[in-house]
Amino acid sequence: MYAGRRKRRLSQEIFLMSARRLNFCLGALGATLLTGCLEKPLSTLDPAGPAAADIAQVWWVMLIGFTLVWLLMVGLVLYAVMHRKRDGKAPRRTLLIGGGLVLPLVTVFALLVYGIGSGQGMLPLPTGEPVYRVDVRGHQWWWEVRYPDAAGGQRHSAGELHIPAGQPVDVHVTTADVIHSFWAPRLGGKIDAIPGRTNVIRLFADEPGTYYGVCAEFCGAQHARMHFIVQAHEPDALAERLAALDRPAPTDMTTHGAQAFARDCLACHSLDPASASTQPGPNLADVGLRRTLGSGTLPNGPDELRDWLANHQARKPGNRMPDQNLSADDVEAIATFLESLP
Ligand code: CUA
């Protein structure tokens, strides 16, 4: 009698637990949708090209597929709890083999085939159409960007990738120091930047526009401030933007600002977009055209540029640029000099 009551209470508890879990999952799903993660600038669920669309599809297939499997399992548990027989026999062997072996094997194999098919689109395979190339190198904590096929020869920049819309783009990714991971979620998959290796990932933007990327592998104190921008252009606009990198470094270095820059900054930051030297800081040839400073730490504007020069260690603590303790006068002169660059 007592044992019977205890079993009944156990059944009720299992039922309640399952109901609570269902409630939690539906709540989490609802919250996910409500917080609008579908349309955020870094959302994999808002793809802007075919490679990213494949990833989003895999995500939805897995979410829906496994929700159905989970509902089936909850249903079976509830069925088993409610229909227990005191003299019930162990389930038949066919049920064990079917449900425990065949079903998972078939499901996992189907997912494997589907996943390989989807992953194929992210590989840099020849497609017959021209592929645009950008080289990217991770640094603690910024992205060096090179255009090996630019009109006038290889050009150097940082923090922003300018690519053609409607054309596959192969990004050759490596690192100057630790492991980073290059990820522009709306345009394609994610790939690690590994010392001594170059990995290639294919991105594709259907439409011109601004897309965002992050470092997706913990790489030190300022991992969270290692953003980049991918700007997809129409062909003419792309040529125009890259033309900003088709000029020599300034030759007039006699102004106060130029001299202060030469004294405090030039050892690490080149102003020559064609310079192949591996300096520790970002090439600043087109800094005036970039949209952020410090790899997404601040928007790029006159006030922010001066703020960055004076307070970069406060804005991005631990960044590799030493605190120069620039005087207000030098900050103003260097900012004015950088702003005067074509
Ligand atoms: Cu670079 Cu995280």
What tens digit of pLDDT does each residue of 8-55 get? 555 555 445 555 555 554 555 555 554 455 668 888 888 889 989 988
For residue 218, give both structure tokens. Answer: 């913990």
Ligand 1: does its nearest atom lie under 6 Å from the Cβ of 164?
no
Query: Which pLDDT score, from 0 to 100, does residue 34 have?
Result: 46
Query: Which pLDDT score, from 0 to 100, does residue 306 have?
Result: 94
What mean pLDDT value characterizes the chain? Answer: 85
Ligand 1: does its nearest atom lie under 6 Å from the Cβ of 193?
no
Q: How much is the average pLDDT of 309-323?
A: 91
For residue 180, how far is its CA from the centre of ligand 1 (angstroms)?
Answer: 4
Ligand 1: does its nearest atom lie under 6 Å from the Cβ of 230?
no
For residue 315, how far is its CA from the centre of ligand 1 (angstroms)?
Answer: 17
For residue 4, how far is its CA from the centre of ligand 1 (angstroms)?
Answer: 59
For residue 176, how far is its CA from the centre of ligand 1 (angstroms)?
Answer: 12
- Report the percent of the chain where pLDDT is more than 70: 87
Ligand 1: does its nearest atom lie under 6 Å from the Cβ of 290?
no
For residue 239, give both structure tokens. Answer: 């040529």
Backbone angle region of 36, left / alpha / beta, with phi > 0 → left and psi within -120 to 50 → alpha: left
Segment (H or E) for 65: helix 50-82
Q: Which atom of ligand 1 is nearest to the CA of 216?
A: 2
What are the two backbone dihedrals, phi and then psi, of residue 308, each rounded to the nearest 5 degrees?
-65, -45
For residue 7, how far is its CA from the centre of ligand 1 (angstroms)?
Answer: 53
- Is the confidence at residue 97, as pLDDT, over 90? no
Q: Which residue has its alpha carbon closest to ligand 1 atom 1?
A: 180
For residue 142, how far is its CA from the centre of ligand 1 (angstroms)?
Answer: 8
Q: Is 290 exposed, middle or buried (0-12, 13-18, 19+ CB in 10 A)?
A: middle
CA distance 197 to 182: 14
Q: For 281-339, give the DSSP string.
A: S---TTGGG-SEETTTTEE-SHHHHHHHHHHHHHHSTT-SS------HHHHHHHHHHHH
For residue 217, how far is its CA from the centre of ligand 1 (angstroms)?
Answer: 5
- Record the pTM: 0.81
Ligand 1: does its nearest atom lie under 6 Å from the Cβ of 109?
no
Ligand 1: does its nearest atom lie under 6 Å from the Cβ of 330?
no
Ligand 1: does its nearest atom lie under 6 Å from the Cβ of 173?
no
Q: Which atom of ligand 1 is nearest to the CA of 138?
A: 1
CA distance 270 to 268: 7
- Is the confidence at residue 256, as pLDDT, over 70? yes
Query: Which pLDDT score, from 0 to 100, does residue 192 have?
Result: 96
Q: How confident is the model at residue 7 (pLDDT cuts 50, 70, 90)?
A: low
Query: Which pLDDT score, from 0 to 100, does residue 111 have?
Result: 84
Ligand 1: does its nearest atom lie under 6 Å from the Cβ of 215?
yes
Query: What order of strands is seen across the sheet that includes strand 142-147?
Result: 155-158, 142-147, 132-139, 169-175, 199-203
For residue 231, how far is its CA from the centre of ligand 1 (angstroms)?
Answer: 20
